[in-house]
C-alpha cells in the first residue's frame, strides 16, 4: 500500500471511530476509544534514521494504536450459533454495551416478525453471570426488548446458564438470553440466545439457536442504523424472585433416588466441589444438600464469583492445573470424588482415585493417592451407563424403533453407541455442539467430550453441569456402598464393549489463513497408515454422501478409520483459531479379564494412541 493510500485508509478509519464514539452509550468505552484515537493521531507513523529513541518509540506507539483500532473496527462482532463472544472493550468487534444494544434490537425485531399478529406479546427471559459487563449487558437487553413491547423477565443476579435454559421452558418463553462467556478467559464476555415457546415448537424448543435462525437474527442486527436509534425503556420488565431457582432445584432434585437407602448412601459420600470462581457454587451445593449430600467441601479460594479468575490461568476444568486446588483438597480431606464446574456451570468435570495412576513422589499428596481427572468421554460413558440402566434393559439384544435415545457429538467416543445398543436403546450422533445434541428426538441423555452433559433434556435443552454433578454423586455413592469406584465401572464397560481410549491434539494458529490450508493439505494427502494400521476409510465430512457422513449435514472435517478400528476426526474449531484432532483407539478385552489385564489393555491403548498422535501431527505438518 502506498503512503497516500495508507493515509486515506487511516482517515476513513478515524472518521468511523469518531462516529462510533459519538454513538457509544457507555462513557467508559467511549473514553477508552477516545484515548486510543488520540494516541493514533499523536504523531507520525515513521521516523527518519536520525530520530531519537524517544521519537522512534512514539512512532511505534502511534502504529500500535492504529493497528488496535483497525482490529476493533474490522466489522461488527459476528452473531452466530454461539450468539456473541469476545473481549470486553470499545469498538464494533468487541463485547460492549453498543454491540449488545444492537444485538438486543435485532433479536427483538426477529421475534416480533416471527410472531407478528400473534397474542400475547413475545416473552423473553434474561439471565447473566458475574463477568465484567454482565449486569449492564443484561439490563440493556431488558431495556431494549421492553421498549418494543416484549414481555421481559429478568432472572436474579449471578445465576448459572442451566437455570436460564430451564427458565425458557419452565416459563414458556419464546426466547432466552444468557449473558456469559462460559469458560473463556476473564477479558471475555458473551451472549447466548435460546428460542422456544411459539417460535420453536419441535424437539429443539428451548435450545440454543441454529441456522437459519442465527442468520435471520444477524440480518436484523445489521439493519440497526445506530445505538441512538434504538429505544430503551427505563423500566417495565419483571424481575423474577427466588421461585425460579426453587423450581430448578426441585426439578434437578427429582433426578435423585428418594429412598431412605439412597439418602443414607448420600450422607456417607464426601465430595470436594469447585465452581471455578463462577456462579454455580451456591446452586450446586443446594441441589446436592437437598438430595442428602451434606458432606461437601468447597474449594475456598474458588468458591465465590470473581470475574478475574485469580487462581487459574484459564477457567476451564479441562485446562492443565485448573482443578489442582480441588484435587489437593480432596487428598487432604480424604474425599471420595471431586466435582468441578466451569464458571457458568453448564460443564462438569470429575476426578477420582485410580490406583493405576499412583506415583511414588510426594507421600500423602494427591498424586501419590492416585487422583486423576476423568476424560470427558469417560464421564460421558459413566453417565451414559446410568441413564442406560434407567431407561433401557441391559442385554436387551434388540432396539425398538421408538426406544429412547442416547446421543453424542461426532467427535465423542463411539462407546456410547455400544452402551445404548446393549441396553436396547437407540443411539444418535450429531454435529459438534449442544445446539444439535439437544435437538435429537427422543433424547434421554446426550454428551460431548468437552465436558458437556445433558441428563434431563425434558427440562434443560442444553448441557447442565449441576444435574450432571448430582447424577455423578449418585453413582459415586452407590459404588462406595459396594466398595467399588468409577474406574471399576470403566473396566466393566471395557470388558463388555472393548477398551475405548480417546484424546485430542490441537494446533493453534496466529495466521488464520493456515487453517484452511492445513485442512486442504490433509484432504489432498491423507496418511495411509496410523500407528502401523492401514487407513481403510477417508471421509470428507464437507462432501460425500449422507451414508458417508452417517446422515449428518455437511461440516468442515475429515474422518479417518484404520483397519484396527482407530478413528481420527480433524476439524477447525468453531470458537478458537485452532485445528482440532479427535483420536480414538479401541483395544479388545476378554469378557472375564482381571483388573490387571484391563490395566494392561489400557496401557497398550495409550501407547497406540500416542503413536496415532505422532502420525497425525506429521500428516498435518505440525
Provide the annotated active-site residues: 182
DSSP symbol at 155: P
CB atoms within 10 A of CB 314: 15
The rounded distance, in Å, linking the Cα atoms of 43 and 59 is 7
Contacts of 170 (CB under 8 A, 6+ apart): 244, 247, 248, 251, 459
Secondary structure of residue 110 in the 3-state scheme: helix
Asked if 478 and 292 count as a contact pair (C-beta separation under 8 A), the reply is no
Query: Which residue carries 501419590 as its cell?
Result: 368
Query: Which residue carries 474425599 as its cell?
Result: 335
Contacts of 520 (CB under 8 A, 6+ apart): none
Dihedral (C-alpha) 237, 243, 245, 249: value to the nearest 10 degrees? -160
The rounded distance, in Å, linking the Cα atoms of 285 and 271 is 10
Considering only CA atoms, which of 56, 16, 50 is closest in space to residue 33? 16
Asked if 350 and 379 count as a contact pair (C-beta separation under 8 A), the reply is yes
Cell of 292: 442428602
Q: What is the widest separation between alpha-carbon atoms in the chain?
A: 85
Asked if 534 and 486 count as a contact pair (C-beta separation under 8 A), the reply is no
Q: 560 to each of 414, 522, 533, 540, 546, how far by Cα in Å?
A: 14, 11, 12, 9, 16
DSSP symbol at 117: T
Phi-psi region for residue 45, left (φ > 0), alpha (ψ -120 to 50) or beta? alpha
Our CA angle for 460, 462, 464, nearest 5°, is: 75
Asked if 437 and 408 count as a contact pair (C-beta separation under 8 A), the reply is yes
Asked if 415 and 377 count as a contact pair (C-beta separation under 8 A), the reply is yes
Q: How many CA atoms lie within 13 A of 230 on its CB side?
A: 32
Asked if 386 and 202 count as a contact pair (C-beta separation under 8 A), the reply is no
453 CB burial (10 A radius; 0-12, 13-18, 19+): buried
The rounded distance, in Å, linking the Cα atoms of 125 and 302 is 28
What is the phi/psi pair of residue 537, to 5°? -150, 130
Asked if 356 and 602 count as a contact pair (C-beta separation under 8 A), the reply is yes
Our CA angle for 567, 615, 524, nearest 5°, is: 80
Cell of 238: 419483571
Q: Any bridge partners for residue 373, and if so which?
A: 351
The rounded distance, in Å, linking the Cα atoms of 154 and 16 is 34
What is the phi/psi pair of residue 308, to 5°? -90, -10
| Alpha-helix residue ranges (DSSP H) falling in 404-485 | 415-422, 434-437, 465-481
Amino acid at each position: 500500500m502506498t503512503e497516500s493510500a495508507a493515509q486515506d485508509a487511516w482517515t476513513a478509519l478515524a472518521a468511523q471511530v469518531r462516529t462510533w464514539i459519538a454513538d457509544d452509550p457507555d462513557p467508559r468505552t467511549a473514553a477508552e476509544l477516545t484515548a486510543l484515537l488520540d494516541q493514533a493521531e499523536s504523531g507520525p507513523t515513521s521516523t527518519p534514521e536520525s530520530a531519537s529513541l524517544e521519537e522512534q518509540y512514539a512512532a511505534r506507539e502511534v502504529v500500535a494504536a492504529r493497528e488496535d483500532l483497525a482490529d476493533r473496527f474490522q466489522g461488527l462482532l459476528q452473531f452466530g450459533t454461539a450468539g456473541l463472544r469476545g473481549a470486553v472493550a470499545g469498538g464494533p468487534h468487541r463485547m460492549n454495551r453498543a454491540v449488545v444494544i444492537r444485538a438486543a434490537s435485532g433479536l427483538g425485531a426477529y421475534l416480533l416478525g416471527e410472531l407478528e399478529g400473534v397474542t400475547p406479546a413475545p416473552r423473553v427471559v434474561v439471565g447473566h453471570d458475574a463477568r465484567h459487563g454482565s449486569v449492564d449487558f443484561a439490563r440493556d437487553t431488558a431495556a431494549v426488548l421492553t421498549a418494543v413491547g416484549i414481555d421481559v423477565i429478568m432472572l436474579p443476579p449471578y445465576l448459572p446458564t442451566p437455570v436460564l435454559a430451564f427458565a425458557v421452558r419452565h416459563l414458556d418463553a419464546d426466547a432466552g438470553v444468557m449473558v456469559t462467556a462460559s469458560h473463556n478467559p476473564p477479558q471475555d464476555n458473551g451472549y447466548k440466545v435460546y428460542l422456544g415457546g411459539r417460535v420453536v415448537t419441535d424437539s429443539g424448543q428451548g435450545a440454543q439457536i441454529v441456522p437459519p435462525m442465527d442468520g435471520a437474527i444477524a440480518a436484523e442486527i445489521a439493519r440497526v442504523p445506530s445505538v441512538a436509534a434504538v429505544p430503551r425503556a427505563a423500566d417495565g420488565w419483571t424481575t423474577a424472585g427466588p421461585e425460579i431457582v426453587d423450581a430448578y432445584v426441585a426439578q434437578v432434585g427429582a433426578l435423585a433416588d428418594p429412598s431412605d437407602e439412597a439418602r443414607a448412601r448420600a450422607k456417607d459420600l464426601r465430595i470436594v466441589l469447585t465452581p471455578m470462581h463462577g456462579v454455580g457454587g451456591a446452586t450446586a451445593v443446594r441441589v446436592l444438600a437437598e438430595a442428602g449430600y451434606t458432606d461437601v467441601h468447597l474449594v475456598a479460594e474458588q468458591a465465590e464469583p470473581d470475574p478475574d479468575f485469580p487462581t487459574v490461568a484459564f477457567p476451564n476444568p479441562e485446562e492443565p492445573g485448573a482443578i489442582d486446588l480441588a484435587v489437593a483438597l480432596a487428598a487432604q480431606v480424604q474425599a471420595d470424588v471431586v466435582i468441578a464446574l466451569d464458571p457458568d456451570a453448564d460443564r462438569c468435570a470429575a476426578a477420582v482415585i485410580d490406583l493405576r495412576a499412583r506415583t511414588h513422589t510426594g507421600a500423602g499428596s494427591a498424586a501419590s493417592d492416585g487422583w486423576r481427572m476423568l476424560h470427558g468421554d469417560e464421564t460421558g460413558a459413566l453417565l451414559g451407563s446410568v441413564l442406560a440402566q434407567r431407561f433401557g434393559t441391559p442385554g436387551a439384544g434388540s432396539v425398538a424403533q421408538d426406544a429412547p435415545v442416547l446421543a453424542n457429538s461426532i467427535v465423542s467416543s463411539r462407546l456410547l453407541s455400544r452402551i445404548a445398543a446393549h441396553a436396547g436403546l437407540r443411539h444418535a450422533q450429531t454435529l459438534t455442539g449442544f445446539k444439535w445434541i439437544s435437538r435429537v428426538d427422543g433424547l434421554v441423555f446426550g454428551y460431548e467430550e468437552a465436558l458437556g452433559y445433558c441428563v434431563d433434556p425434558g427440562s434443560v435443552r442444553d448441557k447442565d453441569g449441576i444435574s450432571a454433578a448430582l447424577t455423578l454423586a449418585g453413582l459415586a455413592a452407590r459404588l462406595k456402598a459396594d466398595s467399588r469406584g468409577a474406574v471399576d465401572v470403566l473396566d466393566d464397560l471395557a470388558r463388555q464393549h472393548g477398551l475405548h481410549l480417546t484424546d485430542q491434539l490441537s494446533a493453534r494458529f496466529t495466521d488464520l489463513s493456515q487453517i484452511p490450508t492445513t485442512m486442504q493439505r490433509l484432504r489432498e494427502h491423507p496418511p495411509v497408515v496410523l500407528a502401523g494400521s492401514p487407513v481403510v476409510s477417508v471421509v470428507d465430512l464437507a462432501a460425500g454422501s449422507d451414508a458417508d457422513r452417517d446422515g449428518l449435514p455437511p461440516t468442515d472435517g475429515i474422518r479417518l478409520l484404520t483397519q484396527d478400528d482407530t478413528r481420527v476426526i480433524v476439524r477447525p474449531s468453531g470458537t478458537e483459531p485452532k485445528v482440532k484432532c479427535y483420536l480414538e483407539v479401541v483395544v479388545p478385552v476378554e469378557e472375564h479379564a482381571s483388573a490387571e489385564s484391563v490395566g494392561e489393555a489400557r496401557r497398550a491403548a495409550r501407547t497406540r494412541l500416542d503413536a496415532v498422535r505422532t502420525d497425525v501431527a506429521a500428516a498435518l505438518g505440525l
